[in-house]
Structure 1
Amino acid sequence: MSIKVARASVSDAEEILPLQKLAYRSEAEIYNDFTIEPLAQTLEELRQQFDNHVILKASMDGTIIGSVRAYDQDGTCYIGKLMVHPNHQNKGIGKLLMNAIEELFPASRYELFTGSKSERNIALYEKLGYGVFKERLITSDFSLVYFEKKSS
């Protein structure tokens, strides 16, 4: 199994968006909310993100099986939409994508967030050296957990 991580192009959006909707379905199920932004995002919105984000793709045999996006603002690299096809999760692809995006942004600081009930995401980010620096309550039983990591 050879995984290739490369910069995605706008033409990859049509393959990334269905992957995003598939990968984020498990998140929606955790929170019983199928209106979350990754599921609601349109193809046009994703295409527009190529203007101000670096979007990476992880491919195997020519098929995109993972992706992540990020942008830099004032010395902080904001990372989002880390996704891996459900059939390929827990094989180190998320870690590969995270390492690749961090290498592209030798920023002084990295920031990302996930839902407070997303235990697999939280475990991955902690394993990669991220620590919680704030939590934002969204509803009485749901909050976003914000992680940061300083570059070494």
Structure 2
Amino acid sequence: MSCQLTIRRATVEDAPYIFSIIQKAFKEYSKMIGQTNLEALSETVEDIAKAIQTKTVFVAVMNGNIVGTVRLSIDGDEAYLSRFAVDSDSQNTGIGKSLMNEVDAYLKKMNVKKVTLHTSSKHDVLMRFYYGIGFYVEAIETDRGYLRARMVKEYR
């Protein structure tokens, strides 16, 4: 049996599945960084449905099941990436990289010059992942009560 992965734009009907993946992934992230008041964990299915309608949200689908997601906000030639999550049972299988490749292609098509994200600077696995796909640390911020790396990737 082959596993077929597709990346597509999310629909409002995907919101409950995206909610489940974000909750699971960000609870694990929260434990790893020792921070419990993450904005992602207070989001509702309705919030996600609204984001799908007002922002660009991609999902990774494997064998009919949503296994990953990422959200983009575009403002002119800059974008902000958030809610990047892959189901824990599907991590380290290339799904995250496939999602980010789709993000790259989309942002280039939209003539975006720079994409920014935040992640805990203590989460070495995510830091290495982002470095490996071309992001660099632009600043370290403490505005949320923990050390967050503001990471940037530039497109030319």
User: Shorter-chain TM-score: which interval?
Assistant: over 0.9
**Paired amino acid for 2:45:** L
8 A contact 2:33–2:123 mirrored in 1: no
1:108 to 95, 113, 127: 113
Q: Distance in 1 between matches of 2:16 and 2:53?
A: 16
Taking structure 2 as the reference length, the TM-score comes to 0.91
Stretches of 4+ aligned residues off by more than 4 angstroms: none
Q: Given the alignment of the two structures, is residue 151 of structure 1 paired with residue 155 of structure 2, yes or no?
A: yes
Q: Given the alignment of the two structures, is residue 131 of structure 1 paired with residue 133 of structure 2, yes or no?
A: no
What is residue 60 of structure 2 aligned with on the other side? 58
Deviations 1:42-77 (A, max 9, x none): 111111112321111101111000010102113111
Deviation at 1:81, TM superposition (A): 0.9
- Give unpaired runs (5+ residues) of structure 1: none
What is residue 117 of structure 1 aligned with on the other side? 122
Count of aligned pairs between the two proteins: 151
- Give unpaired runs (5+ residues) of structure 2: none
Taking structure 1 as the reference length, the TM-score comes to 0.93
1:17 to 16, 19, 25: 19
Deviation at 1:139, TM superposition (A): 6.7
